[in-house]
Amino acid sequence: MDSPLIPAIDLSSATADTGFSDDEFEVDDFVLNQIEHEESESGGSAASSVGMSMERTFKDTVHDYITLDHRICRIIDTPHFQRLRHIQQLGTSSYVWPVATHTRFAHCLGVAHLANKLIQTLQKKQPELRITDEDVFCVTAAGLCHDLGHGPWSRVWDSMFIPAALPGKKWRHEDASEMMFDALTKLDHVRVSEREAIIVKALIAGEVSRCSAMKPPVKPFLFEIIANKRNGLDVDKFDYIARDNHAIGQGENISLDRLIISARVINNEICYDIKDANTLLELCWARFSLHKRIYNHKSAKAVEHMLIDGLLAAEPIMKIAEQIEDPSRYLYLTDDIKARIQSTTNPELAHARSILLRIDLRKLYKCVDFRTWPWHLRGFFRERVTPASIVVASRRYADEHAEYGSVKLDRAIVESLREEHVIVDVSEMHYGMKEKNPLRFVKFYSKKHPDRATHAESGDISQIMPAIFAEFLSRIYTREDKCIVLISPLLYPALDQAFLSVPRYYGIIQAGYRQLIKDLHEGESLSLDSPTLSPATSDDGPVLGSGLGGPHPRCIAGNSHSRSLSRVTSTRLTPDEDNTQVDGFGQNNFTTVPPDYRGDESP
């Protein structure tokens, strides 16, 4: 039987030698030792006192050359940071865009570079801010380490796998980032003081309150550089928007250098020149566009669900989720977990292997329907549109249409439909501040008044600014697929035979989903009074439908609110009827198939 456990190793004596292949400019061991000695004597940086700067230069596809100093490079030269070489930035997007294989390693170098560039620009432009070497180091280190805790396939891990594997556990990759940072600072060659460690972790979290009692105090504007909670504009977004667009060959023409030069601290807030307001708006739109086009692509999302199903099938044996609390084990949780599962011969992992094999054979879960919805309905949708409610609606649809003989359905197929055959995926997409305009939270200055910042009005920026800044996309998948293939039993002796089946449920799942939406539209048992419907509207809710939803809407007692769901509208786009309002609960005509469609022929 294969051992599912990953052996822990002792990193207390790890060296800085990681076989780096990037362009490097280093000094010899004698100078290194001299600097270490002078730093320990003075408690500060001694590189300048020996007449040279210890730096390393990296060639980057987005920022050209990135130069980082020796203390930052010591953090880079740890197993904890090198681990990010094995985690793709875009998760499963490379299954759609084959060249989108850049890693969290490259992204973190880019964020460190932009953070260092911004803080040093402010230091030179505004000496009255009294930005210290400690400030520069902590901001740069926070940029470098902000994603240390990402698990396999990046956000697939903490937004999908952990909530499913460990229900009720409050865990984010930022928690793991702090855990991994604490672990790497214990290595002999890493030079980070206790005060610096506290500041770095607070900057990663964007929580100024963590440092409120520190003396000397930490400057509040530093917390807007890495994780800006005020308006979402930070160097993390600057880098991933530029890097992800570059990776798929659709680069956005946004000058990051211009935004860094434009940045100015006024009243402890990072503000921008009013001339750059449109550039900031374009940046926010680029974020939305990435979510719309790339991060939530239907095939990439299908692969995500298959990976999660494979991991969950392996979890009882391999105990993968339990390793998130141990940095010595989390060190080896990377994208290669898929290959590790597939390399096993344990019969108990056969089902997990068969799911992951389908990804390699491109036999993906099928999207049977999709539609975009108003932002304020997302909580309601997660609560009421679930695999369970779709199954119930599918059977009711079959019963009602069988009475009139209008649709011929195989009753055996309808009765065999189960929750596990259906996936409800809800993807939130916005400009960076959920339903709000991010520019409402940005202050601007002008050349004539460089020390006076205020909020802009729409007329100061554009008269055609969007009226809506957020929406959500629903997709319904079936786990079955047309998968009759000939596979050598010698190559895959433990292949799950359920894998070799023809899809039966494509059409009836779509019909059931639309029946459910129709019921909600008619408002027979549920109406709306405000966008906040129930605890399910919480932003802390899961990204996906849980599959264990509440009772069907027809079983929910009505209330006395007067506003019905039937008031939701959409706009028909035609050349002759601009802004024509139509039923917002209408069907997606581009995905419609007959209810008996099985996916084995063209609809």
| Residues annotated as catalytic (active site), given as ranges | 173
CA distance 423 to 308: 12
CA torsion sign for 583, 540, 232, 532 is: positive
- φ, ψ (nearest 5 deg) of residue 566: -65, -10
Bridge partners (DSSP) of residue 266 are 269
CA distance 86 to 448: 49
- In sequence order, the 6+-apart residues with CB closer than 8 A to the CB of 268 are 219, 220, 221
Cβ atoms of 147 and 84 within 8 Å: the answer is yes
CA distance 390 to 548: 11
CA distance 581 to 572: 6
| Cα dihedral: 159, 164, 168, 170 (round 10) | -30
Cβ atoms of 523 and 566 within 8 Å: the answer is yes
Cβ atoms of 87 and 150 within 8 Å: the answer is yes
For residue 374, the surrounding DSSP H or E stretch is strand 366-374
Q: Provide DSSP, 453-517.
A: -EEPPHHHH-TT--S--EEEEEEEEES---------TTT-TT--GGGS-----HHHHHHHHHHHH
Q: Which residues of 75-103 are buried (b: 16+ CB within 10 A; e: fewer)?
A: bbbbbbbebbebbbbbbbbbbbbeebebb
Cβ atoms of 468 and 373 within 8 Å: the answer is no
CA distance 56 to 37: 20
CA distance 107 to 89: 7
Residue 218 identity (one-letter amino acid) = V
For residue 426, the surrounding DSSP H or E stretch is strand 422-430
For residue 454, the surrounding DSSP H or E stretch is strand 454-455
